[in-house]
Structure 1
Amino acid sequence: MPETKANGITIHYEDRGDTNAPPILLIMGFGAQMTLWPDELVDALVERGFRVIRYDNRDIGLSHKFDGVKAPGMVKLTIMRKLGFSPKVPYTIGDMADDGAGLLEALDIDRAHIVGGSMGGMIAQRFAERHADKTITLTSVFSTTGNSKLKPAKKEAMQVLVQRPASLEEDVLVEHGIKVARTIGSPGYQAPEDRLRERTRAAVQRSVYPEGPLRQMAAIISDGDRTRMLQQLDVPTLVLHGEDDPLIPVEHGHATAAAIPGAKIKTIPGWGHDLPLELVDELAEAIAEHAKSAGG
């Protein structure tokens, strides 16, 4: 798998499809490696005529790790934000957006369709703000504006997301990963046990780095409410969201679409906070249609 220097760090990425085809940049979410974008979805986008680039965010997978850099705790960060202070964090969501822009520059890509899921959606939103000249379209997938007044996650979904596994033994990590996937996943599209276990074990064997998500969570909390920023965006935008998402409820998708001028939204019943194989074609078609409607 190739790597490159971008925005001052090393980024591992994958580049599929015709290099002359319109590019799509896939940005993954909190604590998740780029491999959480299913191969089937990447292939479906390539088949629809796109060059698809996915990459590991900083502090996860095979990209640069900020070893030893401490982040403030969630409680302290949340209180500071509510009091109107800007907490000092190791890096910001904006910095993570700059990583994606740096990767495009390293690949000699001037502009791309930007697609982000969950925290990756937050990064994609910041990308569209900070790098409008590099953004053809924006697709925000089961993400949010960051408005703390919106419907909260289900208690069990948030708990499992921030809970640390009992040990770093492979089997323990696999069981923990399966529990997370089952808790936040799609009630209408339950992943087969064998596939879920195989993918989870492959992710564990590829990379385990518990420190990274602590700094990523700090970046999320410190980014705050992006509503006013989103209201200033001038980019064709599609919002995709599951109607049964236990982690980022569908209300967050509606708020995102309402904030961005001219944004379209597509919600899907039974879809939670994952990317089920049963929805690959529907999601790929929606992303491709949106991109092509903007001339990409």
Structure 2
Amino acid sequence: MLLWLDLSHDRSTATLMQQFTPFAECRLLQSHSLVASPHNRRIDMICMHYDRPDVLGLNQLQQVKRAAPSIPITMFTVQHSEELAVWAMRSGVWEYLTLPLPTAELQRYRQALQALCELRQQPEGGKRKMPSEHFPDLPASIRLTADHQKHQSLARALHYIDQHLCENIDQRDLAQLCGMTPSRFSRLFKDVHGVCYQEYVLGKRLELAKDRLDNSRMSITTIGYEAGFRDPSYFARAFKQLVGCTPSEYRANAGVAAREAVRDLSDAQRLGLEAESLPLTEPTFLSK
């Protein structure tokens, strides 16, 4: 039996499994405790599927290897590097495969898998353990790009927020869009942006409201609705709490500032015209 762990960001392991079901029993793991269960003798291979391997995912591979050292692991990955392949081999991975799999490579893997299963059916077959202290450090390319991958994981959510700011935005929808559970999405969002997603959305909405107050003559209620606030009183309270004044006061102050800016510009233009009329050099007076 091939036991599959879905570590992809788009949760596409079920699709990948379809390539192997014609010649092997496949099962998608729902609980990691099943790997270490002494009753799970039927597992011939643990298949760990990645699209963009990250620190958490690679650490999980090592945890699985520690929990079930006698079961071989195949690592499937879309993102590939020589450094990652070397790390996988040093970690005791039985096979490292880059996706998508060519037909010839799939056939080769199938034959190798059948040979391995026959070997494991023999007494003490395939029982070699790898001490946990021998696990290598994670590839530098993975460690250095961890923050970038976090931002990439949230990119769809940020784009969705920008495009649907005036609508109701549910955390569960954003998490699903990013291929995460709501709890993981919440933790990752705060880790990357320093605020929870609700605070982030509120800040974006207030920035939009300030822009409308500065550059339009729409009513304050209409601006609140356009910025995603369904309750005018909540809009006013949130605006005052975070901006320091009410929307009306902000607009009035913006109007005063604009008039002062226009007056300053007019004064500068007037002074510029007067300066143009002055001689370029200071006049000299001849004494008698």
For the pair shown, the structure with the greater C-alpha radius of gyration is: 2
Q: Which structure has the higher relative contact order (CA within 8 Å, separation 6+)?
A: 1
Fold equivalence (TM over 0.5): no
* Normalised TM-score (structure 1): 0.30
> Which structure features the higher share of helix residues?
2
